[in-house]
Chain A
Amino acid sequence: DVKVTQSSRYLVKRTGEKVFLECVQDMDHENMFWYRQDPGLGLRLIYFSYDVKMKEKGDIPEGYSVSREKKERFSLILESASTNQTSMYLCASRSNYGYTFGSGTRLTVV
């Protein structure tokens, strides 16, 4: 069965910390995505990558960066976490047959 794995289900970090959210897929997909989900705002695209070392900004990239050094791994980086980045973060990968989603990481910044 195809899988997208996010390394943490729950994270609590302090304001100003550097935070890494990891996402790994085992399907050899070229396209990977990071979204955040907030009540009333739904799912919004932060960044996506269509190949190793390639990245594109989504709708809300401010305060985030990404890294794609290997095809299977797409990392979301919060350089200096802030309380407004408290959210559910979802990773996804895509093939011609559709999207596969991870289980999500609920990040709380205190």
Chain B
Amino acid sequence: QVQLQQSGAELVKPGSSVKISCKASGYTFTSYDMHWIKQQPGNGLEWIGWIYPGNGNTKYNQKFNGKATLTADKSSSTAYMQLSSLTSEDSAVYFCAVGGFDYWGQGVMVTVSS
């Protein structure tokens, strides 16, 4: 069955960067888009962008240009998202989701605090 296993919670300092991962199993990793979604505490959901692991193509929500960088490692079936120049506004839970947003990871809580 399809599973997306995300990395653990992160506590990071303002101005720094963080890289979170999403390890996929149960399907052909290179054949489906991997999406990333942001959810701030008590708030709704925002689409950050997608990566197609087959060729590394990416598409970003303009709002996250320069903030998020999506990559994928075919050898380990793992997708990554790096967030840079972190501020308190980046404190949120980040999800990965595959294909037509059918399956979601469990989410990673990123807390930005000094």
- The answer to whether A and B assemble together is no
Which B residues contact A (CB, under 8 angstroms)? Answer: none
